[in-house]
Amino acid sequence: MTLTQRILAARCGKKHVDVGEMIMADVDLALGNDITCPVAVKAFAAAGCERVHDPDKIAVVLDHFAPNKDIESARQCATCRNFAHEQGIKNFFDVGQMGIEHALLPEKGLALPEMLIIGADSHTCTYGALGCFSTGVGSTDLAYTFKTGKLWFRVPQAIGVTLRGKLKENVCGKDVILDIIGRIGVAGARYASLEFHGDISSLGMDDRFTVCNMAIEAGAKNGIFPVDEVTLEYVKDKTDKRFAKTVTADIRYDSEIIVDLDSLRPTVARPHLPENTVTLDEISKEKIKIDQAVIGSCTNGRLSDLKAAYEVIKGNKVAKGVRVIIIPATQDIYLQALKLGYIEEFIRAGAAVSTPTCGPCLGGYMGVLADGETVIATTNRNFIGRMGAKTSKIYLASPYTAARAALLGYIG
């Protein structure tokens, strides 16, 4: 079986599951945030439910509109706080302790190899980087899992992604996944499992989180890496559990994609789809002027991402007329960046540094675009109106590429 099939089979008590099979599986962790959890809480109450199945298998993170941007978002967060208190949910993360959910949960050791994780957020597929099955669901599905600890799944087909070679300098996981999406399109992996193998040691954990995070942008049900030395090193201080490396020799995929890491170049996705990719070498000739640069999000707000931006920005000033917003993904990452001097350099260069939040990624706050404005962002979506006005334009890129554009004033 594929990596995904093995986990699904184990969680539904079977020795084997087939592609297309409908199963009811035990869920190890169910995640909600300040936008999706209130809807789940309402559905939970409407169904007459009083107590959750297991409060220790639920996590609630206030990150999309927190710190609260307005009265309505304050009400949503209050709903989450009350629910977490009433149900005894200890994995509740509020302002001052929270981070962007998909960076926070692995950091806290809540996402681990072999787990089955669901979340009412499409980028829950991030945790596949740790060798677990994780996917996004709707808020009513989340409510059902709150009550039962289970959820139904259709076993997805699998697409094998073979990585060959080694990433060059200034090329990272964001470029890997943008290259893949550019080749297969936003529906190229629809309801499939993207399973990465080959020379995966070239990718650190932060790269793998980024790659799996954007599996959904290719239409995938989930993305997943096998457990190797890099994975084991990452989780060893986060849990007392011990895991074995994944055996991948017997896996047969429905189709295969090969990625030549040696030849991969920094990549940019033009508006208004993640599949509209072009290399930085090509697009730099156009000198596309930007009004704003955003470095952060659940895709690229980790310490290595901030380091990549720091290496470009240190000792320089952002271009006149360009607004630069940098958002560490968690409080711990913020502290590490402070100690390393990254934050001071960002501020001296003329950038704004924010507390952890999803804000600008979804056009919520902390960086909403006006009519006709252009942003280069390390976020995961560049749909029409995603970060503000419908006439604004979003270019997706790595922290390295976004930081370069911040200094130049154009993509180059």
3-state secondary structure of 45: helix
Query: CB-based burial of residue 295 (10 Å sphere; 0-12 exposed, 13-18 middle, 19+ buried)?
Result: buried
Whether residues 213 and 277 share a domain: the answer is no
| Alpha carbon distances (Å) from 368 to 19, 361, 379 | 42, 9, 13
305-333 pLDDT, tens per residue? 999 999 999 999 999 999 999 999 999 99
Mean pLDDT of 21-28: 98
* Count of C-beta atoms within a 10 Å radius of residue 370: 11
Dihedral angle at the C-alpha atoms of 134, 140, 143, 144, nearest 10 degrees? -80
Question: Which amino acid appears at position 325 of this protein?
Answer: I
Rounded to whole angstroms, the Cα distance separating 63 from 31 reads 12
Q: Average pLDDT of 378-391?
A: 96
pLDDT for 87 equals: 97
Q: How many helices (H) and strands (E) does the chain have?
A: 14, 20
**Sign (positive or negative) of CA dihedral 144, 239, 304, 324:** positive
Does one domain contain both 107 and 7?
yes
Same domain, residue pair 249 and 297: no
Percent above pLDDT 70 for the chain: 100
Instruction: Map residue 317 onto helix, strand or coil.
Output: coil
- The mean predicted confidence, pLDDT, of the chain is 96
pLDDT at 252: 84
State both tokens at 136: 């996004």
Verify cis geometry, omega within 30 degrees of 0, for the bond prior to 67.
yes
Task: Give the whole-angstrom CA distance, residue 44 versus residue 55.
Answer: 14
Domain count, the chain: 2
- The reply to whether 291 and 182 lie within a common domain is no
Query: Does one domain contain both 37 and 168?
Result: yes
Asked if the model's pLDDT at residue 134 lies above 80, the reply is yes
Percent of the chain whose pLDDT exceeds 90: 96
Host domain of residue 122: 3-261
339 shares a domain with 239: no
What is the model's pLDDT at position 251? 85
Please check whether residues 235 and 346 belong to one and the same domain. Answer: no
> Do 36 and 135 have their domain in common?
yes
195 and 291 belong to one structural domain: no
In this predicted model, what pLDDT tens digit does every residue of 181-230 receive, in sequence order?
999 999 999 999 999 999 999 899 999 999 999 999 999 999 999 999 99
Q: What was the pLDDT predicted at 225? A: 97
- Which residues of 199-266 form beta strands (DSSP E)? 222-224, 255-260
pLDDT band at 45 (very low <50, low <70, confident <90, very high): very high
pTM of the model: 0.96
Once rounded to an integer, what is the mean pLDDT over residues 85-92?
97
Domain boundary among 261, 293, 328: 261
The pair of structure tokens assigned to 106 is 């692995």
Residues 177 and 50 in one domain: yes
Domain boundary among 261, 292, 313: 261
pLDDT tens, position by position, 228-268: 999 999 999 999 899 999 988 778 898 999 999 999 999 99
Domain boundary (237, 261, 285) is at: 261
pLDDT in tens, 271-283: 999 999 999 999 9
What gap in Å lies between CA 349 and CA 52, rounded to an integer?
48
Domain CATH for 95: 3.30.499.10
Residues 151 and 207 both lie in one domain: yes
Residues 197, 284 share a domain = no
